């Protein structure tokens, strides 16, 4: 009897090829699309997913999760920006939706496994004596940064069909071979609920965040250099669009919600060798009991840097071997070992 796997299908090329590969592996594949938003793009994706499943002769289910998506992802995104932090909604979506309620639904349907089109590897590790997530062979597409929030007990039930592919082009060739219309479909935008990735417009129109003007302050002298039109319009590391004149180039190095200030300074002031993080999730041990040496990554497109992680009661302190640029509150810091195994991560405080 074939083992059942519930495959998350977005109507894109990655999940569609994942369906082909799972069938080739001998699994009984059930396609599933989670409806998270009420918009034209969502129903286009749903139509594509159903069409692919019909072509591959696999069943397809649709599940409505708009309410939990709104609660756990969108509302969190808004509340974090109100606190002058920069959240990462994909981390929350993977935690609560794609590897949360999706896994629960798989169990309801009698599926031993869940599968997604993520670029990541999962394999048995003798080092940790358990299943672990490792960085993808396709380094440019690696998505492990967004996966650290998965519950440890779910690891035994995950399949990443694309884990052995080193190129997105190879994935597209498979789709072309099977005459799938999605073979040339563009990759989805970064934040699915924000049109054109314009988060400022979203926060102003959809989130009803009322912006107040405040001062732009020079960090070292507390000199007022100008005024800002709301701190949600500024990000750590930003240089352009500050609307101030100064003898040296200035960058946003901090946001003070209590005083409604945008704090600026020279580029060297963007760098720091330490950070603290909470909301931790560990994938290879129950909790951090003693300091560990590892590689830490402060944003998805950053390069991992050598670091030591020191545990405290409900947070960790991370000390980097080299200063890191633009460490940002609300973003995730994610930890790897020397074998590219994902250890866990947390939210930068």
Nearest one of 140, 132, 146 to 332, comparing CA atoms: 146
CATH of region 270-348: 2.40.30.10
Number of Cβ within 10 Å of residue 204's Cβ equals 16
Distance from the Cα of residue 140 to its chain's centroid: 15
Q: Which residues are tagged catalytic?
A: 93, 192
Which residues in 189-339 belong to E strands, given as ranges? Answer: 214-218, 224-228, 251-256, 261-265, 271-282, 292-297, 305-311, 316-325, 332-336
Nearest one of 262, 221, 261, 258 to 238, comparing CA atoms: 262
Nearest one of 312, 300, 305 to 349, comparing CA atoms: 312
Q: Outline where the chain has alpha helix (H).
A: 13-25, 40-56, 66-69, 75-82, 89-93, 102-108, 168-177, 199-205
* CATH 2.40.30.10 residue spans of the chain: 270-348
* CATH 2.30.30.280 residue spans of the chain: 211-265
**pLDDT number for residue 189:** 67
- Residue 335 DSSP symbol: E
Nearest one of 86, 89, 330, 82 to 209, comparing CA atoms: 82
Report domain 211-265's class: mainly beta
* CATH 3.40.50.620 residue spans of the chain: 4-196
At 19, list the tokens.
């369906």
In whole angstroms, what is the distance from residue 23 CA to residue 31 CA? 11
pTM (2 decimals)? 0.94
In whole angstroms, what is the distance from residue 131 CA to residue 123 CA? 5
Between strands 342-348 and 332-336, the pairing is: antiparallel
**pLDDT number for residue 272:** 97
DSSP string for 89-116: HHHHHIIIIIIIIHHHHHHHTT-SEEE-
In whole angstroms, what is the distance from residue 258 CA to residue 58 CA? 54
pLDDT (tens digit, 0 to 9) for every residue of the chain, 349 residues total? 789 999 999 999 999 999 999 999 999 999 999 999 998 889 899 999 999 999 999 999 999 999 999 999 999 999 999 999 999 999 999 999 999 999 999 999 999 999 999 999 999 999 999 999 999 998 889 999 999 999 999 999 999 999 999 889 999 999 999 998 888 888 876 789 998 888 888 888 877 777 789 999 999 999 999 999 988 889 999 999 898 989 999 999 999 999 999 999 999 999 999 999 999 999 999 999 999 999 999 999 999 999 999 999 999 999 999 999 999 999 999 999 999 999 999 999 9
At 142, list the tokens.
């690696």
**pLDDT number for residue 267:** 96
CATH of region 4-196: 3.40.50.620
């Amino acid at each position: 009897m074939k083992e059942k796997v519930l495959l998350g299908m977005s109507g894109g090329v990655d999940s569609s090829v994942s369906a082909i590969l799972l069938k080739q592996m001998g699994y009984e594949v059930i396609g599933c699309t989670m409806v998270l938003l009420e918009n034209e793009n969502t129903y286009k994706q749903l139509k594509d997913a159903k069409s692919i499943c019909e072509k591959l002769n696999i069943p397809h289910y649709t599940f409505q999760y708009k309410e939990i998506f709104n609660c756990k992802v969108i509302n969190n995104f808004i509340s974090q920006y109100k606190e002058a932090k920069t959240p990462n909604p994909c981390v929350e979506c993977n935690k609560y939706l794609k590897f949360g309620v999706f896994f629960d639904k798989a169990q309801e349907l009698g599926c031993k496994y869940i599968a997604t089109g993520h670029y990541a590897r999962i394999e048995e590790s003798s080092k940790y004596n358990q299943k672990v997530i490792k960085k993808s062979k396709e380094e440019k597409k690696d998505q492990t940064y967004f996966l650290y929030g998965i519950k440890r007990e779910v690891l035994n039930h995950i399949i990443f069909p694309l884990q052995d592919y080193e190129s997105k082009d190879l994935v597209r060739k498979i789709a072309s071979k099977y005459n799938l219309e999605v073979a040339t479909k563009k990759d989805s935008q970064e934040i699915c609920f924000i049109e054109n990735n314009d988060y400022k417009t979203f926060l102003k129109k959809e989130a009803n965040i009322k912006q107040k003007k405040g001062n732009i302050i020079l960090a070292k002298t507390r000199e007022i250099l100008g005024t800002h039109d709301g701190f949600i319009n500024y990000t750590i590391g930003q240089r352009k669009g500050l609307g101030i004149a100064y003898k040296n180039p200035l960058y946003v190095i901090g946001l003070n919600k209590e005083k409604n200030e945008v704090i600026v300074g020279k580029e060297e002031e963007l760098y720091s060798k330490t950070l603290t993080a909470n909301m931790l999730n560990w994938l290879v041990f129950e909790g951090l009991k003693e300091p560990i040496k590892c590689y830490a990554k402060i944003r998805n497109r950053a390069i991992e840097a050598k670091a030591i992680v020191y545990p405290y009661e409900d947070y960790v302190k991370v000390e980097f071997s080299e200063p890191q640029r633009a460490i940002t509150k609300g973003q995730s810091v994610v930890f790897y070992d020397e074998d590219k195994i994902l250890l866990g991560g947390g939210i930068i405080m």
